Amino acid sequence: MTSAADTRDIAGWLRPAMLFQRGVFALSQAAAVLAALLVVGMTLHILLEIVLRLLDRSTFILDEMVGYGIAGATFLSLGYAFEHSALVRVGLLVDRLRGRARRMVETFCGITTLAVTSQIAWVIARSALRSFERGRTSSSIAEIPLWIPEAVCAAGLMIFGLQVFAWTLRQIFDLPGPVAPGDEDPLQNDL
Amino acid sequence: MDPLVSGLALIAMLVVTLGSGVWIFVGLLLVSVAGLHFLVGMPLDRVFTIAGTITYRSASTWEMAAVPLFIWVAELIFRSSVSARLFRGLTPFVDRIPGRLLHTNVLGCTLFAAVSGSSAATTATVGKITSSELLNRGYNQNIAVGSLAGAGSLGLLLPPSIAMIIYGILAEVSVSRLFAAGVLPGLMVSGLYSGFIMLMALIRPGIAPAGHQDFGLRDYLRGALDLLPVVALMGIVLGAIYSGIATPSEAAAVGVFAAFGLLILLGELNWGLIRASLMGTVRTSTMVCIILVSASLLSTTLGYLHLPQELGAAIGAMNLDPLALIALLALFYLLLGVFVDGVAIIVMTLPMTLPLVTAAGYDPVWFGVFLVLMVEIGLLTPPVGINLFVLQGLTNWPLGRVARASVPFFLLFGLAVILLVIFPQLALWLPDQLYGK
Amino acid sequence: QTVTWDLANEYPPNSVHARSADTFIATLKEVSGGDIVVTAHHGAALGYKSLDQYDAVGDGALDIASSFATPWSGINPVFILSSIPFLVATPAEERMLYEIARPYYEAVLADDNQVLLFATPWPPSGLWGKKPLDSLEALSGVKLRTYDANGTITFGNTPATPVQLSWADTVPQLSTGAIDAVLTSADGGSASQLWEQQSHFTEVNYAMPLQFVHMNRDAYEALSDEQKVWVAEAAKAAEDFGWNLLEDRVAQNYAEMQGHGMTVVTGVDPAYIAALTEAAKPALEEWKGKMGADADAILSAFDAKRAQ
Ligand code: NA
Ligand code: NA
């Protein structure tokens, strides 16, 4: 999806637009780092539970915490994965188009994505707000406030939405993106 | 609405939306939303309440955590010398086998299936490690990728398996029996795959680069030494499961632990590697997990459409003889697998199909194996085929090319189903030996 | 046919609550002459867990659901009541307590835009194990899988070690011997063929938590008076079916378990039950603290009724 031309260094009137693009991507990156920390946290919690079980003890909340962790990690890394073209799509149509036609189809895809995911983000955010207002907790011994994981997931989806919005603007105005395209082989693509 | 019409409408919508180039998970969400709104006739605010609830619920399932954790193991192996050692080590051993290193995918997935209960995790993990190596070494790319798509779904058939556990709970069948019943059919599928690769290599030697060395004892010993890290890793994870130290769902974390230990021993652990492996993990795993999450909304939509109920009832009303019934059910699951993937198929259809099958005299344990095989086939059928999506993400190929490469392996799965129907003992012999009749 | 609803239930098609829901559906179809048709989705086929079903029904995503009350503990403490260990000893007492608490349940559900149709109990939980678990000494060193916070509190106060595991991991962990025993009903254990790993079931009647069948208030209010009568009739029939099912089901389960070579240990020493009840005291006290004055009202009404 990204091509070499996307990385040309731009100056002049594009500067504020690029600041916005870089800012949004920085937000996606920060969320992805948080997601990575959640993956580390899940691993450590499972290992802790295994050790505790050998000592006849338990944290009693493993499946609950890992459930929140996987949901958070998935939603928080969406924007980052999106900007890295890691989210798969069927290229049947888009890969055959160039220039203006391509950008029109991409704009359509971006707007469609925003329409669906923003509604879902809104429903989850509303649920987080309700859990917060009513002081709802989980039924486990730890009584985790339910609004926390819900809010994290809603935030992840909103960051994704912002990233898609920034990307769609680039399609409309034919702007370059903030991410250097990786190696041809996505497996080697590090950053 | 007639279930057949609404089913066809959904397939048409899937083809159009996915074909337009929208991201696959968005396409699945979009078709679900449209299905609930236009086919079920729900107002949009109700539709999105359902969508929000189901996506949040299915994203927070504890079983899905195996996906990022196993992908992390793969990232650590892939970015260290361990994967190069694996291929170097295997080379002398497979030199005389037609197809040579092409067998690593089948072998790798079969072994990995024994520690992982999820097929998405199996495909992504083994694919991450093997695909770039195989693609760079001059092996036939279609067979390399197709065999990954096929063998990757063995994670469900070989124990431990999330699909078997869910089936066991719903059908009230012993999970231990189901685990045992999956072993021989699973090995049969990997045998069919290896046999197919050998046959192809004999017919068209060009699919694998020629073996050109004379390997001596030293080479075999060095090869064994190179294989040691991966063997040790597998041994630790398997040992943790079968000694009871870790549950099958916890195995992935043990894998991460063992991989770190291995990299420390090899002197290859550093911050750069940890950082790169983690960022690679979140990219790949969010791609896999968000598709699983969206696919579960699509299966919820089918539920609200009453599609499985009505088709199941229609099949039941036909009063078929046992063989015709199982043939029709195979067709039914093949069709359903086109747009639903994974355990969702089992959950949504079992209440309708299990009574039919047991009334026809089939053993529920046998039917569990049959059903899991059908679920695995569904992972390979476009437009919704998780294994295809995972490989598309790993290879950057168009979906159509991944799907075409998988066709022979899809057909071999079909052959496995036919063999299972003709020889039910393939599934039932081992559990009967272990647990009595 | 004027009304069609979907009913979600997390538990398998053959479980007691699926049977009760099916009874509700069949009765409703019959008394309404096919005017109200409900489609059941058992085994979480629609993708909802009991916890999600609370808001899903209130928000109208679902018309009706059959939900396990314990996961709702963090929504409102009143839902903890039926899972407090050793508060009731028999199904008759459980029903007494339910009748007393029903207005409280209804009030909480009404606040969240839903109507309580009926509730039925889970079969009483007991101790599956490799030996009789009929004394505190027998519990010593036993790793026991419990299913909720109250179980963790209660058995943490005994010589046993409570372990938290998902149900899917429970059988594999029993097979490898990583855990020794499971707190669940005769029915739940039989459905998972626990006799393959366990040899004894000790009846302690730990708790009989409730399963609620609740429906969206807007969908309910949209009904005509005649239709509401039909729904009430069907709910009554299903509720009676569910409570009566309990005793038959326990006897059936015991016979089946014995058929698979298990020993069912009944009539344990009352002193043992008293000790377990003592161990569960903190769970009761914690609930009273969360619930406030309503707890005393419910419990004193229950004590008075039981004394009659
Ligand atoms: Na497996
Ligand atoms: Na499919």
Quick check: A12 pLDDT over 70?
no
Which numbered ligand comes closest to the C-alpha of B379?
2
- pLDDT band at A99; cut points 50, 70, 90: confident
Which numbered ligand comes closest to the C-alpha of B158?
1
Q: Of B233, B289, B254, B238, which Cα lies nearest the Cα of B78?
A: B233
pLDDT in tens, B249-260: 788 899 999 999
Comparing B369 with B320, the larger pLDDT belongs to: B369
Q: Which two tokens stand for residue C64?
A: 């009706």
Quick check: A9 pLDDT over 70?
no
DSSP string, B415-429: HHHHHHHH-THHHHH
Do the Cβ atoms of B350 and C47 come within 8 Å?
no
Q: What is the pLDDT of residue A11?
A: 45
pLDDT in tens, B295-343: 889 889 989 999 888 888 888 888 888 999 999 999 989 988 887 777 7
Q: Of B411, B415, B390, B421, which Cα lies nearest the Cα of B155?
A: B390
- pLDDT band at B425; cut points 50, 70, 90: very high
Q: What is the CA radius of gyration of chain C?
A: 20
Amino acid letter for position A109: C
- pLDDT band at A16; cut points 50, 70, 90: confident
* Chains contacting A (3+ CB pairs below 8 angstroms): B, C
- pLDDT band at B1; cut points 50, 70, 90: low
Average pLDDT for residues B374-400, to the nearest whole number?
A: 87
How close, in Å, is residue C275 to chain A by CA atoms? 22
Residues of A in contact with B249 (CB under 8 A): 63
Q: What is the pLDDT of residue C139?
A: 95
Query: Cα(first)–Cα(last) distance of chain A, in Å?
Result: 16
Comparing C57 with B287, the larger pLDDT belongs to: C57
Do the Cβ atoms of B247 and C192 come within 8 Å?
no
B164 touches B175 (CB < 8 A): yes
Quick check: B37 pLDDT over 80?
yes
Q: What is the pLDDT of residue A180?
A: 54
Do the Cβ atoms of A87 and B78 come within 8 Å?
no
Quick check: B344 pLDDT over 80?
no
**What are φ and ψ of residue A119, in 5° steps?**
-65, -45
Quick check: B5 pLDDT over 90?
no
Secondary structure class of B235 (helix, strand, coil): helix
Comparing A15 with C93, the larger pLDDT belongs to: C93
Ranges of residues in chain C with a pLDDT under 70 are none
Say how far apart CA C41 and CA C44 lie, in whole Å.
Answer: 7
Give the percent of chain B with pLDDT over 90.
35
Mean pLDDT of all residues in chain B?
A: 87
C78 touches C43 (CB < 8 A): no
Best to test chain A binding among B16, B17, B23, B141 (most A CBs inside 10 Å): B23
Comparing B80 with B369, the larger pLDDT belongs to: B369
Best to test chain A binding among B13, B15, B17, B22 (most A CBs inside 10 Å): B22
Comparing A88 with C307, the larger pLDDT belongs to: C307
Average pLDDT for residues B270-278, to the nearest whole number?
A: 93
- pLDDT band at A188; cut points 50, 70, 90: very low
Chain C CB within 8 Å of residue A65 CB: no
- pLDDT band at B212; cut points 50, 70, 90: low
Q: What is the pLDDT of residue C23?
A: 97
C144 touches C234 (CB < 8 A): no
Query: Cα(first)–Cα(last) distance of chain B, in Å?
Result: 45
Quick check: B390 pLDDT over 80?
yes
Smallest Cβ distance to A91: which of B21, B49, B51? Answer: B21
**What are φ and ψ of residue A84, in 5° steps?**
-90, 10
Distance of CA C200 to the CA centre of its chain: 22
Cα angle: B200, vertex B204, B207; to 5 degrees: 80
Give the percent of chain A with pLDDT over 90.
61
Q: What is the pLDDT of residue B156?
A: 86
Which of B1-19 are b and which e, b meaning 16 or more Cβ less than 10 Å from the residue's Cβ? eebeebbebbbebbbebbb
Which numbered ligand comes closest to the C-alpha of B381?
2
- The lowest-confidence range among A90-99, A164-173, B195-204, C11-20 is A90-99
Query: Cα of B119 to ligand 1 centre, how many Å?
Result: 8
- pLDDT band at A191; cut points 50, 70, 90: very low
Smallest Cβ distance to C74: which of A56, A130, A138? Answer: A138
Do the Cβ atoms of A187 and B131 come within 8 Å?
yes
Residues of B in contact with A188 (CB under 8 A): 132
Residues of C in contact with B170 (CB under 8 A): 12-13, 43
Residues of A in contact with C153 (CB under 8 A): 141
Chain C CB within 8 Å of residue A62 CB: yes
Quick check: B4 pLDDT over 50?
yes
Smallest Cβ distance to B247: which of C46, C59, C169? Answer: C169
Which numbered ligand comes closest to the C-alpha of B117?
1
Q: Of C27, C5, C9, which Cα lies nearest the Cα of C18?
A: C9
Average pLDDT for residues A24-37, to the nearest whole number?
A: 96
Average pLDDT for residues B136-153, to the nearest whole number?
A: 88
Best to test chain A binding among B283, B389, B394 (most A CBs inside 10 Å): B283
Residues of A in contact with C70 (CB under 8 A): 139
Say how far apart CA B200 and CA B202 lie, in whole Å.
Answer: 5
DSSP string, chain A: ---GGGG----GGGHHHHHHHHHHHHHHHHHHHHHHHHHHHHHHHHHHHHHHHHTT---S-HHHHHHHHHHHHHHHTHHHHHHTT-S-B--TTGGG--HHHHHHHHHHHHHHHHHHHHHHHHHHHHHHHHHHHHT-B-SSTT--BTHHHHHHHHHHHHHHHHHHHHHHHHHHHTPPPSSPP--SSGGG---
Q: What is the pLDDT of residue B385?
A: 85
* pTM higher than the cut 0.95: no
Chain C CB within 8 Å of residue A48 CB: no
Q: What is the pLDDT of residue B131?
A: 81
Q: Of C52, C209, C65, C148, which Cα lies nearest the Cα of A139?
A: C148
Q: Which two tokens stand for residue C52?
A: 């999600």
Q: What is the pLDDT of residue C286?
A: 94
Average pLDDT for residues A36-47, to the nearest whole number?
A: 97
User: Which DSSP symbol is given to C41?
Assistant: E
Average pLDDT for residues A73-97, to the nearest whole number?
A: 88
Overall size of chain B counted in residues: 437
